[in-house]
Structure 1
Amino acid sequence: MAISKPDSMLMRRQPQQKRSQQRVEKILKVAAEVFAEVGYEAATTHQIAAKADTAIGSLYQFFPDKLAIFHALEAIHMERVRAILTKLMQSADEYKSLREFIEHTVDIYAQYFEDPIPRVVYIQYFVAPELFELFDETFDKQLIQQFAAFFRQWNPDLAIEKSELLAETVHRTYNALLLNALKQDQSKRQVLYAELKTMLVSYLMPYTLSQQVMKVMICPHCNSSRLSKNGHRHDKQRYLCKDCGKQFLERLISENF
């Protein structure tokens, strides 16, 4: 995967030739690997240069110090995250159900975080948030508001305050569980991703579908939805099941999504 062009303000100079661009890409990729292996605090520019098979002077031509390298990785991650979010939101109408959208979203990010650059930047945010210039509480609030608006698209009856509470709960919980998953080996990680999908679907489904869509009548005896009205009893609608022939009083339950 090609590495996005880092913010020019984070670099001493922009690489112009293809060879220089490739060198910067390698430095950034290797830097992420070194940060993941030994931690940001223990990592040095000399380690990064040696592993990238680059002279330390060449590294300093582009990055003044270790922090500048990290900020370049942060900028790459920010650019990619915004691109993924935009694509997901624009394609939301293509999914048959919210369940399908949630599962696809978890899969997209699971694949994305296999790359060492976003993985090390993401984990580092929870270790030393003071290092960051782009990711902060303002970004979190914008993300929560974006998700809240998205939930209201699925359920126009959802109040703004409730949608924002749902969005914040999902955002904070997802981050905590994703952080734990990224620290595990591949097999355990996949198990945790499956649990994450189940949790998000179970939590969001009752809220993000309008009541008219969410509630349907089914027969309590055979679970059939082929019903006909059959008078009233005790001021409640009575139904006759066309499949099993039994009668029952009004009973609303959630549709099987």
Structure 2
Amino acid sequence: MRRQPKQKRSKERVNRILDTAAEVFLEMGFDAATTHDIATRADTAVGSLYQFFPDKLAIFHALELRHIEQGRILGEQMYSSEMAQLPLEEFIAQMVEKCVKFFDNPAPKVMFIQYFTNSTIFKSIDESFTQEFVKGLANMLSLRNPNLSSHKCHLLADVCTQSGNALLLVALRSDETYRQQIISQIKNLITAYLRPHVGDEALHNKVMIAQLNNEKVEISTPQESQVMKCPHCKSERISKNGHRHNKQRYICKECGKQFSGNYSPKGYPEEVKQRCLGLYRGGMGFRAIEKKTGVSHNTVINWVKQIKRDLIN
């Protein structure tokens, strides 16, 4: 920039010029765009534009610096320790969605497309910027599975980032329908690629123990308060039916058969259980998990307490 804006009005004008320039570059392309196009669209005199920027390349480089700053904020949001504790599918989905939302804005979008189609005009952004995101993802993978070597984590993260970037470029340059299809396939591709290495079962025990110790777990409820199904007809219409040998008995209102309180609930698939535990590790309360998933909070409490007992033993 020729000079830095000091007054509020000048700062607002510069930001308006930059925002407008991103839209013009995106619509017309960098080569076809002119400073007059930018000034006209920004509703400012071209002379005012030249007070801050000598040419359109200087405007582009200012956008570039702003993109680096905003991109690093995006990286902090994507690669937080809380994100690492989510179930793999949800972790990938949130990560991709954060990227897509970021690149919905004209300035990041034009920076991304130009980098892969006309990288010679860049001054501050190079492959090292991409490698910052690779490093962030590699750290996340290490948190999910500490048994992986640093080289393996970097390799996995590099493949995910580079392939994700290539497909995201296709998505950003496509119509809305095809774009959404590509984004969905990015999630599926990365999830399938990472599952054998950092799937939900690879979450480190120490992370879970720390979460369990820091969370105020509600008082354990009796076994019978769990979501139960009749072992004969699988109905959930269960009611208490007295005691026998000091054990609670139940009766099914559908088939009329009785069974004892030694029942162990197996009505939920493993993926549902892991999703609930992932939400819990991410900081969500038991009642909130019940509202989101439909799984009784008592069931989630008992899952959590059972895991804690297993880890201690």
Secondary structure of the corresponding residue to residue 48 of structure 2: helix
CA–CA separation in structure 2 for the residues paired with 1:209 and 1:158:
12
- Residue 170 of structure 1 is matched in structure 2 by 160
Displacement, 1:88? 2.4
- Residue 80 of structure 2 is matched in structure 1 by 90
Letter in 2 for 1:201: T
Deviates more, 1:174-183 or 1:93-102: 93-102
Match of 1:119 among 99, 104, 109: 109
CA–CA separation in structure 2 for the residues paired with 1:123 and 1:176:
10
CA–CA separation in structure 2 for the residues paired with 1:212 and 1:42:
51
Secondary structure of the corresponding residue to residue 43 of structure 1: coil
- Residue 204 of structure 1 is matched in structure 2 by 194
Letter in 1 for 2:9: R
CA–CA separation in structure 2 for the residues paired with 1:205 and 1:85:
22
CA–CA separation in structure 1 for the residues paired with 2:203 and 2:154:
21
- Residue 19 of structure 1 is matched in structure 2 by 9
Displacement, 1:53? 1.4
Displacement, 1:95? 4.6
Cα pair 1:106 1:197 within 8 Å, conserved: yes
Cα pair 1:156 1:210 within 8 Å, conserved: no
For residues 94 and 207 of structure 1, do their structure 2 counterparts lie closer, same or farther at Cα, with a shift above 3 Å needed?
A: closer
Displacement, 1:90? 2.3
CA–CA separation in structure 2 for the residues paired with 1:135 and 1:14:
21
* Alignment length (residue pairs): 209
- Residue 79 of structure 1 is matched in structure 2 by 69
Gaps of 5+ in 2: 205-262, 265-269, 275-313
- Residue 187 of structure 1 is matched in structure 2 by 177
For residues 105 and 69 of structure 1, do their structure 2 counterparts lie closer, same or farther at Cα, with a shift above 3 Å needed?
A: same
Cα pair 2:39 2:45 within 8 Å, conserved: yes
Deviates more, 1:205-214 or 1:164-173: 205-214
- Residue 40 of structure 1 is matched in structure 2 by 30
- % identical aligned pairs: 44
- Residue 297 of structure 2 is matched in structure 1 by none
Alpha-carbon displacement from aligned partner over 1:125-170 (angstroms, at most 9, x marks no partner): 0111121122212223333233222211110111222111111111
Q: Which has the larger radius of gyration?
A: 2
- Residue 138 of structure 2 is matched in structure 1 by 148
Cα pair 1:30 1:52 within 8 Å, conserved: yes
Match of 1:137 among 112, 124, 127: 127
Would you identify which runs of 4 or more consecutive aligned residues in structure 1 move more than 6 Å? Answer: 210-214
- The alignment's TM-score, normalised by the length of structure 1, stands at 0.75
Alpha-carbon displacement from aligned partner over 1:216-257 (angstroms, at most 9, x marks no partner): xxxxxxxxxxxxxxxxxxxxxxxxxx99xxxxxxxxxxx756
- The alignment's TM-score, normalised by the length of structure 2, stands at 0.62
CA–CA separation in structure 2 for the residues paired with 1:88 and 1:126:
22
For residues 167 and 213 of structure 1, do their structure 2 counterparts lie closer, same or farther at Cα, with a shift above 3 Å needed?
A: closer
Deviates more, 1:122-131 or 1:86-95: 86-95
CA–CA separation in structure 1 for the residues paired with 2:42 and 2:177:
30
